[in-house]
Amino acid sequence: MINEPSILVDGQSGVLVPPEKPTKPLRDPAVETIEAAVNAVMDVYKVEYDVAGPVRVRYTGRLRLDDEHDSETIYDQLDEQFAPLDYHVMLTTDDEGQHVIMALKGRINPQPRPIWVNVMLLVLTLFSLLFVGTGQATGGDNMSELWRGIPYALSIILILGSHELGHYFAARYHHVHVTLPYFIPMPLGFGTLGAFIQLREPMRNRKVLFDVGVAGPLAGLIFAVPILFIGLATSDVELLPEEGIVEGDSILYMASKYLVFGERLPNGNEDVMINQLALAGWTGLFITGLNLIPLGQLDGGHVMYTLIGRHAQRLYFPLLGLFVFLAYLNQAWLFWTFLLFMLGRVYAVPLDTVTELDPRRRWVGYAALVIFVLVFVPNPLRPV
């Protein structure tokens, strides 16, 4: 590795100090081709070789940006030249605001995976949802009639499936290799711990990361909201029981009950006794709120990173503190607080972090954050 000082600016004259050249350039045809490609689009101030891990060469300098060559165009040009050499290109900035281009040896070429695992988990999740739905329909008196849980099971599968397929098709649109959804069965609580897809390669830039991240929650809401309203419209308002557990309110859920019943519920004496469809709609909104928490690998974390970049990491301690407070009020948040503590600081970073979102995507991102506020349930399950 050859360490060189970055470019300096004399405080009095403003004259640039000429960059030094590497004293021992590598005799590698691939690196020489890479260097020629980088020099064609960048004023290079500093070159480092064999930096760490797969980073073969790191160039620091300033991109030659103009109306015809923005950062996205330059990245695409470099990637096209790096690909035949079995290199990834990474474009970012350093703490001084200078552009950094890194050549990463070894392109990721994911191999197809068998889908039997996805199918098996889907079937198991369907049965666990039928079990929970049947308990909702019969009060737990006749769990052998699993067919009675079909409304709840199919509604949750539709909401979660559309959420994950939103991610999937957005990724495939951008030619990103991803797996089919993996559903997680759990024959208690909601009947599932959710679902996920696995990214098989890094995202190209912030635009791709944003599209894939935001597509899931928006697709899920398309089905969760109508299912919720149909469920509420077919549920009855009854006297509150003397004891038991009731679902908590989000702003959207509270507004939905007001629109359907014309009053704020619960009103102290009565509340809506939600049926399977309403429960599925409420669960869909609750899961959407969890996914839109703007931290780490969650969908909201992807959205926040694409909006403000590495500054998103500053949200870790404030939001973690908020969830510690929520867990103090309601122990249902203990598990999620632990997950955020362990995973909330790790963000999905695209290969090109310089290219920013266009105005349309920014407005959709702001709308996603508003949706998070509307569907988040601070007190999800509470005693009567």
pLDDT digits (tens, 9 = 90+) for 256-304: 999 999 999 888 788 899 999 999 999 999 999 999 999 999 999 999 9
Q: Is the pLDDT of residue 243 over 70?
A: yes
Q: What integer best gives the mean pLDDT of the chain?
A: 88
Confidence (pLDDT) at 145? 78
CB-CB contact of 81 with 41 (8 Å): no
Q: Is the pLDDT of residue 15 over 60?
A: no
Beta strands in 53-153 (DSSP E): 55-63, 87-93, 99-105
Confidence (pLDDT) at 266? 86
d(CA 384, CA 374): 23
Domains, the chain, ranges and CATH? Answer: 29-105 (3.90.1070), 116-383 (no CATH)
Confidence (pLDDT) at 172? 94
Q: Could you tell me the two tokens for 2?
A: 């050859």
Confidence (pLDDT) at 238? 87
Confidence (pLDDT) at 11? 37
> 162-166, 235-239, 285-289 — which is least confidently predicted?
235-239
Residue 269 half-sphere exposure toward CB, CA atoms < 13 A = 1
What average pLDDT score do residues 193-214 get? 93
> Residue 88: which pLDDT band, with cuts at 50, 70 and 90?
very high
Integer Rg of the chain from CA? 26
Confidence (pLDDT) at 189? 84
If DSSP codes are grouped into helix, strand and coil, which group holds residue 369?
A: helix
> What is the distance, to the nearest Å, from the Cα of residue 247 to the centroid of all Cα atoms in its chain?
26
Q: Is the pLDDT of residue 108 over 90?
A: no
| Residue 34 CB burial class (10 angstroms; 0-12, 13-18, ≥19) | buried
Q: Is the pLDDT of residue 169 over 50?
A: yes
d(CA 211, CA 303): 9
> 72-81, 129-138, 192-201, 239-248 — which is least confidently predicted?
239-248
Nearest C-alpha neighbor of 135 from the set 116, 117, 158, 152: 152
What average pLDDT score do residues 177-204 get? 91
Whole-prediction pTM: 0.87
Q: Is the pLDDT of residue 324 over 50?
A: yes
